[in-house]
Amino acid sequence: MTDPVVRLHEVHKSFGALKVLDGVSFDVHRGEVAALIGRSGSGKSTALRCIDRLERIDSGMITVCGHDVADPALKLRALRLDVGIVFQSYNLFPHLTVMQNIMLAPRSVKGLGRAEAVDLARGVLAKVGLADKADAYPEQLSGGQQQRAAIARSLAMQPKVMLFDEVTSALDPELTGEVLRVIEDLAAGGMTMIMVTHEMGFARHIASQVLFMHRGRVWEAGPPAIMSDPATPELRQFVGSELRR
């Protein structure tokens, strides 16, 4: 088996006295979709942010596409070229149109010419079904459209792995559906993805690996089937409460 795209080994992280990650370990291989589930405060988002070095870890090891993320001398730019991340709050740049949002990094970071960048942007916009919104400003779009534009912006950098941090939590069910369909297409296209999500049905349907986090640890991990047949009372309770939501 090849080396995993993302590997966390015994990762510890505290915010002051609060232990957020207490020995987290998991591997995600090429083409896999890992779903991080668990209660708020269980450490899922922090784990995701550590992978992109938005947070530094206290101890342990994280490797992402061959980068040693815990190394203080890590070339952050190189890491960010390989990793795409999409946030709950979209974080599109409000002063730029959708097209300009997408073209910014390919042009500034990769030095693409204008024509090339336009082609690239049109391609990713078509992928997320927003070809007709290229010249709109973010505030003229619905939440679902903004989130799809944010996904397109990440895709334009052609990352090797995509991270999704509760990308549908700010959306109503209808808009959630349109964003999840885009993610589903990406999974079908073989993109390696790690997603923090509260969409249990979606996780079960799309994930190749489910990681249930509890108290800063991966409490239970396995194929989506573990959600129907939990081994631990914590996961059983969590799945039960999520179904009742």
Could you list the residues that contact other proteins (CB under 8 A)?
A: 52, 54, 76-77, 80-81, 83-85, 87, 89, 91-95, 104-105, 108-109, 136-140, 153-154, 157
Nearer to other proteins, 36 or 156 (CB): 156
For residues 85 and 154, the answer to whether their CB atoms sit within 8 Å is yes
Nearer to other proteins, 61 or 137 (CB): 137
- As given in the structure block, the two tokens for residue 218 are 């991966």
Nearer to other proteins, 83 or 200 (CB): 83
* Rounded least distance, CB 94 to other proteins, Å: 5
The DSSP letter of residue 86 is: E
* Rounded least distance, CB 220 to other proteins, Å: 29
* Rounded least distance, CB 183 to other proteins, Å: 17
Residues paired with residue 193 on neighbouring β-strands, in sequence order: 33, 162
Nearer to other proteins, 137 or 222 (CB): 137
* Rounded least distance, CB 14 to other proteins, Å: 21
Bin 83: left if φ > 0, else alpha if -120 < ψ < 50, else beta.
Answer: beta
Nearer to other proteins, 5 or 51 (CB): 51
* Rounded least distance, CB 226 to other proteins, Å: 31
Nearer to other proteins, 5 or 155 (CB): 155
| Residue bearing tokens 């049905």 | 201
- DSSP code per residue over 179-235: HHHHHHHHHHTT-EEEEE-S-HHHHHHH-SEEEEEETTEEEEEESGGGGTS-SSHHH
For residues 24 and 40, the answer to whether their CB atoms sit within 8 Å is no
What does the CA dihedral 139, 125, 165, 6 come to, rounded to 10 degrees? Answer: -150
- CB burial of 43-76 (b: ≥16 within 10 Å; e: otherwise) equals bbbbbbbbbbbebebeebebbbbebebbeeeeee
* Rounded least distance, CB 238 to other proteins, Å: 28
